[in-house]
Structure 1
Amino acid sequence: MNIRQGIPRIEDKQRVVPSLILGIIVAGLFMLKPHIIVAQQLELLYTGLDNPTSLYVHQDVIYIVEQGKNRLLQLNKQGELLETTGGQGRGDYQFDTPVDIHATNGLKVYVSDFRNHRVQLFDRRGQFLGSLKAASGFNNASYSPTQLVVNDLGEVYFLDQSSNTIKWYDLDGNYVDEFSVPAQIDQVDDIQLYEREFYLLDKRKEGIHVLNESGMYSHFIEAGQAGAFLKAGKTLILFYTDSILFDDGSPTPRQMALHTSERLIDSHLENDTIYILGDKKLYKLAWDR
């Protein structure tokens, strides 16, 4: 069962690292390019998390899925805890192995509830709105959702691990369609949407698979042993055990060394701030584009 995991340190001095050394650091990624190394500290926002698996940031609220305690946390941007929702169970406001979270324009928040075979839906205040149910008339009477993503129209896509399909529901929670995960993909550790394309992180194959909006396979991006990624315009941001790589397509993409031993699990970009989820802590990083 694939239920999200993460990763974490290099050196301090700013310098150009030969491609051979860099290849060791990031498992052969972009081996022909020199990388500018810049040391920078992450700002700690929150600590004491129990097996967190996902985060999402919207306006003034940071949402964190804390799988170890089967709950959803809401924090402000100063890292102060505002509210908790959940606890293990099958009822409303309860979870059994939650995995991922995503939101629309702030009105609806989706949480994949793996062992309860549902995607729960909340408003931005944490009030329960309902669940996405399995489509009637299909062979599988239930589904086992893991990674999910919401597009600009408020439509939600999620991976059903039991059938290895990506299911599509509209803004009102109605089933629309689904497609099978292409055979080139071993596992799906994250799903992101960018310009009507799906980006699927596959840690087993150490890369990112790109699909078109219909689910047809497009191409593969090498990512080494990245534990998380972000697509921000032309820049692909890859999070490693001890560093962050900002690949903007230039001959010298920037590699940022991190002063932490924390595994990096998930990330979210809000304006010019990157929020980074570790296996115990939440950080933020100012991104100078």
Structure 2
Amino acid sequence: MRISLFVTCLTDLYFPEVGESVVRILHRLGHEVDFPAAQTCCGQPALNSGYADEARAVAKRMIGLFEHAETVVTPSGSCCSVIREYYPHLFENDPVMHGKAVALADKTFELVELLQKRLKVDWSRWRLSYPGTATFHYSCHHRGIGMSPEDVLGLVREFKDLEYRPLEKMEQCCGFGGTFAVKYGDISGAMVRDKVACIKATGARTLICNDGGCTLNIVGACRREGVDIEAVHIAQMLDAAMRNGGGQAVDSTVAAAPRGDREWEAKQ
């Protein structure tokens, strides 16, 4: 399968290693990966702030970039929800663009959703290994695209040597919410402090957090509260676990982006 990566702006700017892990995972599974270098933001900040016209302009550009993609994957449930839930609504009065928005929404998947539900990967061949202790923060936006905590935890249980420690209030918002954290700083701060207290109580050394906004918010609060924990995306864990397990890889091709984007090629 040829899969196009929508990396998202937060991943690109703050967590590029997550995007690289996504490419390596798909490469090992035998898929061709395409990275449209002209991609930018999905328009969520403008949309959340009530700037529908500005969000519509960004959405139109994104739809054009991924219009001919076979399948689109993103490591962010938040940005996936914008494409799936909001792009069609932005073009309700434009039949042509509405059709294109629906088409993109139907072929866009969050990473775990793609691996577990669409590709139905058999992980037993990989002997996934990731020693340590971990807990999991469930991002609000994953609920918006129909994902449950079990979708991620089912994959986590495939990791040998990993001790999973349940997080109290796992499904409670971390308080980020994009501009919510700016407009309602006191409330946001109280929410993330509560989240950090729950994380600390697990004693886990690793926090699985699959949305960049949540990760930035929680990691910042952990540092302020003196909580020593490593936050990783499930893509990074899976990338490392596939490598550690030594499973048999399948030969495949990663489509080269323009020469300025060679860092996105998979490296075995």
* TM range, smaller chain: under 0.3
Structure 2 length-normalised TM: 0.28
Does 1 or 2 have the higher relative contact order (CA < 8 Å, sep 6+)?
2
Say which structure is richer in strand: 1
TM-score under structure 1 length normalisation: 0.26
